[in-house]
Structure 1
Amino acid sequence: MHIATFNINGIKARLPRLLEWLDETQPDVACLQEIKTSDDTFPVKDIEAAGYGVIWHGQKGFNGVAILARGQTPVEVRRGLEGEVEDEHSRYLEADVNGVRIASIYLPNGNPQPGPKFDYKLRWMKRLRDRAAEIWAEEVPAVLAGDYNVIPRDVDTYSVKAMADDALMQPESRAAYRRLLNDGWTDALLTRHPAGGVWTFWDYQMNAWPRDAGFRIDHLLLSPSAADRLADAQVDRDFRGREKASDHAPVWVKLKM
């Protein structure tokens, strides 16, 4: 089972690239982040014409997540995280596909830090951990996929110095991510590339892509029964270099079913 995550950075602006990627790689499940469109303007017909059923949780101009499944419609389990009733950001969507629980996650960036945006990021990570514990208790194969906006280790960035003050690699952000791993979730890409040096994001600015000045912030966390089935995990790096590409590359895991 081929499960991918892709921060598309605006689904309407990147729709040709998304459809191209779906056609060329044909993932069984694709989790999208930053679709940046309201629910009623999501390009559902284009996605269905590509052979995918889809559910989405939109927000006009910002955030937004979706889950696509090849040849079927994902069975929605949860929309949004509990814990802050006033939180109107569209950042979490959860569904079942072929017996696997899958979440599409767009974790808050948290910049500038310190400040309220960083505090919100840390609260959101606690809420995610609480939900992950509930999924864990169900003992189902599960994949928590998305843009976590966390650089877990120094070897996961091109420059520790350049990112030192960024919310993505503050000690508190890293600690919150480690708590998920310590709860028993497996970082699929880390398992395949323990030495680091594998990027999933390259900024549009400062010639980042040609300089390979990237970092790893898109992750797929596997429950124990999913981790037992891990066959491979990689980055579709070449798609970042295409015309009008997202600033993220797709990341994927293959599970033996």
Structure 2
Amino acid sequence: ALAISFARGADGAPVSPAVSRSGKVFTVLPRGFGAGEQIIATVTASKPDRPVASATVVVNVLARAVPQVSINTALTNRAKVPPSASLKLRGSARWPEDAAVRADGADARFEYGWVLTRGDVSLAEVALTPLSGANLAIRPDALTPGATYTFALTATSLGLARASASAAITVTTNRPPFGGSLRVSPPRGDVFTQLFTFDAAGWTDDPGDTPLSYRFALSRTDGGALSGEQTSSRLETTLLTVGTYLVWARVSDID
């Protein structure tokens, strides 16, 4: 007959964890030992009228390893995410260097799952990639300008050391400058003699997104630009020929 017994290595006190047996294999059920304990396991084999044989092994019980999950994005050097671009998040999971798991087997593989824990969209509807992959891409113009979103990634190991861990990243989308207007003074004048002033006044943006830049242009036949990028909200010019013009100003922030 086969029997197994356990004792603590520190003081020799007996331990009685729940054990299942299949033939010659004994399996200690989960939470049978405490993390950090040293356990002495002894197996005895006996038959009638035969000497008892035994074998002993020392087991060091390690704390359960938890994978390390990280999320990176190419936009981490920016204060805000432009909503017109596709947001790309790269997730990964690995075991700590001191984890007692095999790095070349099933324990080295993970299954992933993305969720949106903060935001005003359905992640399934705006994602360009499966939510079960390590990486996540969001389609352009799917996120609301000026809104904040938190994306969470959970990784679960596929091997015997099955464990899960999560990481999250919070991003804020940039919103365009707001609150201003464009005025042309005077509204009409003589060719090449009248000084026209274009004033994009009152534009502002969120803290950290200034200074603003301005570009003025005309729309008549070729839509030619009146100026390049500039920090002044006013432009004065006399280079106008006969005709009616549509004047527009493009106001941009630094993000």
Q: Which TM-score band applies after superposition, normalised by the shorter structure?
A: under 0.3
Q: Which has the higher strand share?
A: 2
Structure number with greater Rg is 2
Q: Which has the higher helix share?
A: 1
Bigger RCO (CA 8 Å, 6+ sep): 1
TM-score, scaled to structure 2: 0.23
